[in-house]
Structure 1
């Protein structure tokens, strides 16, 4: 049993075969679990616990964040008061990601594409003040999303005026082409968030990195929380964790920085994060994509071919 995503609740980090990797590893694993997805599923229970933490934080005396819609996603008997007033790492990470998202979008010209890789109960499309014309792509489990959407619509949740939200089932065979079909462009800036998306092993996360590397322009950011249970390292060894993270992300064209939860707390002028149940359970990161997207490369190949053809025609006329 391992700790999932810094929550402090224990669920299985499924140990599937680490044999030959293919681009469909992640999709096959997720589809296998999706068919039997139910309220007893450990990933769904982890999503409920994350939502519960947002509810309790929203009702704390000095909240890090306020989620006005999360209550409709939880059972009626979910307690709103925190038994312990210490900050939880998940709440710190959520606040950090929220702020980084909006700050980056406000400071980057032409950044109107956001891809959220989540557990299906994420309310960011509705609770954040997105800039006008933002396209929000929500990649998450189909069954969880559909149930949550019905409840959120019943609670009056709407994306900001002038913005659009699109759902992409995480159990789809071809996430890349579905994103493109819904309007995502690899020739325009984007920002990507990974927090809560069910993944079963490291190979699954590598497939996520591959998808983002193919679609994201050079300079785009990818940030979020990575469960430490996916890494075959000692979670308490910070130096080894950073080295492992660097190698993993650089192999897909990303320069990554590991963010300390205590550092986030200090920047917010808060006490240190609660460590009793969350120590070493997840890695908070920000990564910059250093490579060109497939769409950028295709655009340049087409332009280069056009220039070559025009040059051949001019040379023929001179002869």
Structure 2
């Protein structure tokens, strides 16, 4: 199957300013539309100096800033309840934000395209930082089950904050959490109802992977559970390539070999390529991530088990027919 860069216009989610922010914190701009101001001390709570919290809050700040733009690539009406309002982005962070907003819109579009229609994937596995709001802000088809794999403490506190501001999962959909700290994430996914004989789509963005070995474990899990033809996409941290000593080939070739070893055919998507299709300006500088889309070429474990049982049944039927002839 040829993997294409699918870009569709995401359905804009209205900013729920009344439920997110007190009236005293809303000011009208020149066009008489509401300008949102973050009102949160979420980042000041005990324990939030942990790197998992800080990196998740930074991404929430990116989404909050993007939502406030006059022509945003996406709208996240909930990011404001995480993002501290007193942080200024320096030039380096502004550059990272530009890559992040392009990558986030690309992933949003891929998710919308992959889940729509009767044959769309109704199982979404997202490896996140714990503050990802896609489960709340995207328009999911009926019966979609979203599995958020992320740090337990971040997800728990973020979920409470989202509940406090009135965020809700679309009706007839379901959000289930799989803790990063699980000793066997694959088993937890299956225990929570993941079915390897049904279509799924897998997303990797912001997940605090610690080393290349950890990422390979995720690839192994996706390879075992995802049906043939399913997609695994997201942002691959560039620093992970540095953990492989003695790499002399190009980064793209190296990634191709890593993914192919687990049955995925991967394609690197240039941020500039996506930006151009979105009508955005040239992305300046190098990103600390690689945008990728990978297609599963193997059968999942569940598909193989179904095939084994069918083969066994055919063999038994053939043996019985042969016995009757005798």
Tell me which structure has the larger Cα radius of gyration: 2
- Residue of structure 1 equivalent to 2:4: none
Out of 288, 294, 300, the residue aligned to residue 281 of structure 1 is 288
Out of 55, 60, 70, the residue aligned to residue 51 of structure 1 is 60
1:232 aligns with 2:239: no
RMSD of aligned residue pairs (Cα, Å) = 2.4
Whether the 8 Å CA contact 1:233–1:240 is kept in 2: the answer is no
Give a deviation string over 1:240-274, Cα, whole Å, max 9, x none.
Answer: 11111111110100011101111111010010124
**TM-aligned CA deviation for residue 40 of structure 1:** 2.3
1:154 aligns with 2:161: no
1:243 aligns with 2:238: no
**TM-aligned CA deviation for residue 108 of structure 1:** 7.1
1:299 aligns with 2:300: no
Matches of 1:219 and 1:268, distance apart in 2: 26
Whether the 8 Å CA contact 1:213–1:253 is kept in 2: the answer is yes
Out of 221, 224, 249, the residue aligned to residue 211 of structure 1 is 221
SS at match of 2:250: helix
1:73 aligns with 2:74: no
Matches of 1:176 and 1:120, distance apart in 2: 18
Change (3 A) 1:245 1:84: closer
Runs (5+) with no aligned partner, structure 1:
1-36
Change (3 A) 1:156 1:287: same
Change (3 A) 1:311 1:158: same
- Residue of structure 2 equivalent to 1:31: none
Matches of 2:204 and 2:219, distance apart in 1: 10
Q: Structure 2 length as normaliser, TM-score?
A: 0.80
**TM-aligned CA deviation for residue 42 of structure 1:** 2.3
- Residue of structure 2 equivalent to 1:62: 71
Matches of 2:180 and 2:95, distance apart in 1: 35
Out of 166, 188, 191, the residue aligned to residue 178 of structure 1 is 188
Whether the 8 Å CA contact 2:145–2:173 is kept in 1: the answer is yes
**1:14-163 correspondence to structure 2 within 5 Å:** 38-75=47-84, 77-78=86-87, 88-106=98-116, 109-163=119-173
Runs of 4+ in structure 1 off by over 4 angstroms are: 82-87
